[in-house]
Amino acid sequence: MLAGVAIAVGGLLLFGLWTPFAAAAEVFLELWSVFSRTAYYESSILLAALAASLGMLGPGLWSIDARLFGRRRVDF
């Protein structure tokens, strides 16, 4: 069950659909695997950090989110 959810979340992140929610789900899944000791904790912590950074950065230019909701540009 957990592997199926991880594959679905990975697919959402791959195509850039619902990126913030999918990244938050990935962080939750990876931290769950760290605390349940089902995998190597170093790789799970790395994947959780990558998913958190992707969630904060947002979807890319060619993502489905950018097509649906428009591209937001941050100017400094």
Q: What is the pLDDT of residues 4-42, one digit of tens each?
A: 998 999 999 999 899 999 999 999 999 998 888 766 788
- The tens digit of pLDDT for each residue in 44-53 reads 899 999 999 9
Model confidence band, residue 57 (pLDDT cutoffs 50, 70, 90): confident
Alpha helices in 1-76 (DSSP H): 2-15, 19-36, 41-57, 64-69
Model confidence band, residue 68 (pLDDT cutoffs 50, 70, 90): confident
Query: pTM here?
Result: 0.82
Burial class (CB in 10 A: 0-12, 13-18, 19+), 23: buried
Q: What is the CB-side half-sphere exposure of residue 4 using CA atoms within 13 A? A: 1
- How confident is the model at residue 38, as a pLDDT? 67
Query: Where do the structural domains in the chain lie, given as residue ranges?
Result: 2-69
Q: Is the CB of residue 13 less than 8 Å from the CB of residue 26? A: yes
